[in-house]
């Protein structure tokens, strides 16, 4: 698939934000630990989620869609702590199955994760450190992780994470939830999806305190029971639409959000001359004047999210003046810059720093999505640019954005999704 975008139009209207991808991809594997049926609501229907649901099904779980965004998951029939399917290489969050399997079965065999590659490495040493501290032996093969609790069950421990890692915090929290005794995770990540996972597990009977701070205390319990849980709105999806309005101009009501989670993004946009009005469970974003420059440094939550860096950098490419962006989480995350340059952007990259000299306009071009958020940035670039932009490689984008074409069309954008080979035959106008 690819997207064809005719840019240069302001965005107007309202858009409904879906459930948070990064919470969903932690909560769905966590259902493996539950002795009962989990009804999960506000599940974003994106390919990362459908893939995880397929994995649970392949493992023997019962997965039933109640409606488009609600699913019942019953993992009681699963008897083997193994997930060795090829499709798992395509999704990074499949490694949360390791923590969940260790918790429930005391052992795990899981195919090594794939997912977005930002151009650098994505180590899992802190996950391994956490599992080992809980008493597991962990072997990393070429494309497999095999882990086993040395004494049959995991035991609580004090774990200091050397880097603030979302993935390691999630995985250790999962594994520790059913360990014998208490675990303390220090230097934990504080992202909203960490809190959401803790809330879900607690709603099933877990005993987790401090999620959202840098010290999380997990008292292991013997059993988790089923129930209903609604996933929080997606901070990054909301931020992406906010950035799109900033870039294109216009006025959009962004609904089903938690404005507190958006403060780091709203603050930056205000600095750039964009109006962001907090309306409780919605924000109204308006830009009718010139766009100002800004500097950005990405940091773990509550800092400016790295997952918004490509989208905001794209907007800064057409701001007045020179902006400096510093990537503080990943070694490098600027692969998309070459695509923007082909549209007329002036951006220099030196290691973790990008210097963006704002230009008056971008011009339509054929560009490629190299990862999920860079892909979203390419869509924003296409919406801003004059002329027609073709965005290729959109399967990355559809890993994390529910109905993006439909939602943008609802805001007046001229965007359609077509198959790569035969645009005329299979024009899939998303109306």
Residues forming the active site: 116
Nearest distance from residue 81's CB to ligand UD1, in Å?
Answer: 21
Nearest distance from residue 35's CB to ligand UD1, in Å?
Answer: 26
Beta-carbon neighbour count of residue 351 at 10 Å?
10
Distance CA 213, CA 266 (A): 22
Nearer to ligand UD1, 18 or 165 (CB): 165
Check binding of 351 to ligand UD1 (CB under 6 A).
Answer: no
b/e burial code for range 12-28 (CB count within 10 A of at least 16 → b): beebebbbbbbbbbbbb
State the number of CA atoms in the 13 A half-sphere of 213 facing the CB: 8
Distance CA 82, CA 304 (A): 37
The residue from 43, 93, 243, 283 that contacts ligand UD1 (CB under 6 A) is 93
Check binding of 165 to ligand UD1 (CB under 6 A).
Answer: yes
Distance CA 207, CA 199 (A): 10
3-state secondary structure of 153: coil
The residue from 25, 188, 272, 347 that contacts ligand UD1 (CB under 6 A) is 25
Number of residues that bind ligand UD1 (CB under 6 A): 20
The residue from 125, 143, 281, 288 that contacts ligand UD1 (CB under 6 A) is 125
ω into 302 cis (within 30 of 0): yes
The residue from 29, 167, 220, 239 that contacts ligand UD1 (CB under 6 A) is 167
Check binding of 140 to ligand UD1 (CB under 6 A).
Answer: no
Residue 62: which H helix or E strand, with range? Answer: strand 62-67
Distance of CA 370 to the CA centre of its chain: 15
Nearest distance from residue 21's CB to ligand UD1, in Å?
Answer: 7
Nearer to ligand UD1, 52 or 343 (CB): 52
Distance CA 210, CA 95 (A): 23
Nearest distance from residue 341's CB to ligand UD1, in Å?
Answer: 23
The residue from 105, 241, 330, 396 that contacts ligand UD1 (CB under 6 A) is 330
Nearer to ligand UD1, 192 or 249 (CB): 192
Q: Which residue has the tokens 């994470």?
A: 161
Using CB under 6 A, which of the segments 34-42, 121-129, 349-357, 422-430 binds ligand UD1?
121-129
Nearer to ligand UD1, 122 or 361 (CB): 122
* Residues in contact with 375: Cβ distance below 8 Å, sequence separation at least 6, in sequence order: 369, 391, 393, 394, 396, 397
Nearer to ligand UD1, 123 or 351 (CB): 123
Total residue length of the chain: 431
* Residues in contact with 151: Cβ distance below 8 Å, sequence separation at least 6, in sequence order: 135
Nearer to ligand UD1, 168 or 204 (CB): 168
- Which residues contact ligand UD1 by CB under 6 A? 22, 25, 92-93, 122-127, 163, 165-168, 189, 306-307, 329-330
């Amino acid at each position: 698939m690819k997207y064809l975008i005719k840019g240069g139009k302001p965005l107007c209207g309202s858009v409904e934000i879906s459930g948070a991808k990064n919470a969903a991809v932690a909560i769905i594997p966590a259902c493996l630990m539950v002795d009962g049926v989990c009804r999960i609501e506000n599940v974003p229907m994106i390919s990362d989620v459908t893939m995880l649901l397929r994995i649970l099904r392949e493992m023997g779980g019962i997965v039933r869609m109640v409606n488009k965004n609600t699913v019942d998951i019953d993992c009681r029939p699963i008897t083997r702590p193994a997930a060795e399917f090829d499709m798992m290489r395509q999704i990074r969050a499949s490694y949360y199955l390791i923590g969940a399997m260790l918790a429930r079965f005391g052992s795990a065999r899981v195919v090594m994760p794939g997912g977005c590659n930002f151009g650098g490495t994505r180590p899992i040493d802190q996950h391994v450190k956490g599992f080992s501290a809980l008493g597991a032996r962990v072997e990393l093969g070429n494309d497999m992780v095999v882990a086993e609790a040395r004494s049959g069950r995991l035991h609580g421990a004090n774990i200091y994470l050397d880097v603030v890692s979302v993935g390691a915090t999630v995985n250790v929290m999962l594994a520790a939830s059913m360990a014998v005794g208490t675990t303390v995770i220090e230097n934990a990540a504080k992202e909203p999806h960490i809190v959401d996972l803790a809330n879900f597990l607690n709603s099933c009977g877990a005993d987790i305190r401090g999620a959202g701070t840098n010290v999380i205390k997990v008292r292991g319990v013997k059993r988790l029971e089923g129930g209903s849980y609604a996933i929080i709105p997606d901070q990054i999806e909301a931020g992406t639409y906010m950035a799109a309005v900033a870039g294109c101009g216009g006025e959009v009501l962004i609904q089903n959000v938690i404005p507190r989670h958006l403060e780091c993004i709203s603050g930056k946009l205000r600095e750039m001359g964009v109006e962001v009005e907090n309306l409780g469970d919605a924000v109204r974003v308006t830009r009718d004047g010139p766009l100002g420059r800004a500097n950005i440094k990405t940091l773990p939550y509550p800092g400016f999210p790295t997952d918004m860096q490509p989208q905001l950098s794209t907007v800064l490419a057409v701001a007045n003046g020179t902006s400096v962006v510093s990537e503080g989480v990943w070694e490098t995350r600027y692969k998309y810059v070459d695509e923007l340059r082909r549209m007329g952007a002036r951006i220099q990259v030196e290691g973790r720093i990008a210097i963006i000299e704002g230009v008056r306009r971008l011009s339509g071009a054929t560009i490629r999505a190299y990862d999920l958020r860079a892909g979203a940035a390419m869509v924003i670039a296409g919406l801003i640019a004059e002329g027609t932009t073709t965005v290729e490689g959109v399967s990355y984008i559809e890993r994390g954005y529910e109905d993006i074409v439909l939602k943008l069309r609802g805001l007046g954008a001229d965007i359609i999704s077509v198959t790569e080979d035969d645009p005329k035959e299979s024009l899939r106008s998303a109306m």
